[in-house]
Structure 1
Amino acid sequence: MHTHVGIVGAGPAGLLLSHLLHLHGISSVVLEARTRDHIEHRVRAGVLEQGTVDILREAGVSARMDAEGKRHEGIELRFDGEPHRIPMTELTGRAITVYGQQEVVKDLVARRLDDGADIRFEVADVRIDGLTGDRPTIRFRHGATEQELSCDVIAGCDGFHGVCRPSVPAGELTVYEREYPFGWLGILAEAKPAIDELIYCLHDEGFALYSMRSDHVSRLYLQVSADEDIAAWPDERIWSELATRFRLAGSDWRPNEGPIFDKGITGMRSFVTEPMQYGRLLLAGDAVHIVPPTGAKGLNLAVNDVWIMARALDAWFNHGDDEPLHHYSRDALRRVWRAQHFSWWMTSMLHRFGDDPYELRLQIAQLNNVVESTAYATALSENYVG
């Protein structure tokens, strides 16, 4: 088999790239290790920047997002038991949309299959060869059949644990990373959200985030230690701790409770690989960078990567211009490092790194700067909405 672009990974990056290439008349084959059901129900991020929303609309895959997504024009910062709203749209003219990553994946899979796309689920034993030649090859097993796909370009959209990045010879990539001493305990609950906009909360006991997935499903997070055992957090303890951290001074306000149908602990890390390309291999999304979820940038960075990549491939395949392709890493990394800085800043401002009371007072001083200064609030808003 041969295709213009072999795409490894059917997450939002790989699927959106396949669709954008299709719009430019460029063929692709998408290979995914998991089942379709798995990728369509894997709970991930849920905050879409204005730019991501615009790209999905321009690509013609936004109908359900526009109907079901929740437009938010501000966020709340809560600390010292007091709420402070940041009016993002008033400050920037832009907004965010709350719409689950798994819903974006469902929309893209449906559209690509309707268009006759070649998406192969449950592939195994993926190997990549010939990255510095004109026809790199992806070998894989699909069912009981060994297959070989030659490509003009390979797009590695297969996540941090995928095979694409490790296929680059040692010494060709530089890795920058940081591990944080805490994680997020996240839950999905059948509970009507008690809020209209997200709440980011700093408390003596640690960070908490109040979000939602729909009018009837709440998404909440608690900062816990990096080695925390989820078994130590029965539902009653989770709701009690959420009530404590979100408590307002002089009020009995608390999150609405309901049955928890999903919970888990996610580690916090920052990770960037440079460059984001090697020979005929282009890397995107979690395969090449990870940010702490505090800034809500992971999915949005992946979308930005493949938007840049698709434009570069269009220039090359359809117009004979290879300069944008050579500059893919440079152009994508500008945004990646801005997002890394913003996610680090939000994480540092809102999480407890220990029991040092001096550090806590510095964090509160920084938060007061943000909520009292239009310049600080605008800078946060510009980065948050994208």
Structure 2
Amino acid sequence: MVDRKFLAVVRREYLERVRTRWFLIATVFGPVLFGSLMVLPALLASRNKGAADASNIVIIDATSTSLGARLSSQLAGGVTAGDNAPRVVPVAPGAIAPAESLATADVMQERAKGYLIVDSTLITTGKARYAGSNTTAIFDMQRLERAVQRELVALRLEGAGVDPDVGRAITGISTNISTERLTKQGRGGSGQVNFIVGLAVAMTLYMTIFIYGLNVLRGVLEEKQTRVAEVVVASIPATRLLAGKVVGVGAVGFTQIVLWMVIGVVMYYVRAPILASFGVASTPLNIPDVGFSTAATLLGFFVLGFMFYAGLFAAVGATINSEQEAQQAQMPVVLLLVASVMFVQNILMQPDGTLSRVMSTLPFSAPIIMPLRMTVAPVPTSQVLLSLASVALGAVFTTWIAGRIYRVGLLMYGKRPTFREMMTWVNRR
């Protein structure tokens, strides 16, 4: 039978945080942010035409060919859907510097957005140079680079004796490779979408564990500073008080994640009607099929991972006396958690590599790495169970250590204890 005092602690920790305005804001803001990421890219893509005057550039052509004129024709309304073709300035190979000085003056006086230099180097090595005020416009620069590459290839084909019309047809071909993930259950959606979803799952777990782990630390510190702990410990054992705090705060994070999942699913289904109201056709997102067992496993990793880190944060909170000390004392625990995120990119590149398998079995990194691997690639059940067992054992160990330190450190004031003193608390009967 569960102790009523323990349930009272859990209820207090849970309701104290759920009833706050910030919990409501964070619970609603998270899904709204992810929902906007489902809608805004499609809306922006349908209206993405670049800057209105970005075709107002100067092409300094020192190739002694028709490349400059061909680029101007290609970019007329191309780089940015403008109405005017870029101005071409044919120059001799040794007269690039004066022409560049004049073009720089035009850019500085806002008569042009920039200038493109094409010379013999472009013909032989494929390298050109652009300078202007719109170099940070990634969309425009990509269109400009594609236009240069297309016309250069066409020019080389014509030089090799290929018919100009055939050359233009060949260079006008564009490719787009779509990826699809295959699992034991069949087709599993787009590989790129799985990549994004996996990253979102990892970062959500990281942020939730980090934020609510700090909540445990601050809750313990507040009880020490207000001397409330002295009264509470008189009626309930310190270890049970710690367990109540961890379960209560963890339940808040669990509630938030479940609400995020529910609201996220709702926003996924209302995405198409929202885009239709703006006159934009929606394309299927191919969200990975996450079954009940997978969702339960992901939530299990959050619960166990939170218990692992919450115990460490609680132990830190019991050994400090002020917020200033907390900033320094929490760093070892925070670095353990951050170490998992530092390798996310490597895990995404090789989800079945040695590094991925090792980090998904370590108790401090498994709560982040294994859910990430499960989302982006099939993982053997044996590895998932091993990872869960590792985190569970780690959570039991850190909770036991934290309970030993908590029962003594909660009533200690003044000087921060040394590591040797804390080990003495752990070994005390």
- Is the TM-score greater than 0.5? no
Which structure has the larger Rg? 2
TM-score (norm 1): 0.25
Higher strand share: 1
Q: Which has the higher contact order (CA 8 A, sep 6+)?
A: 1
Higher helix share: 2
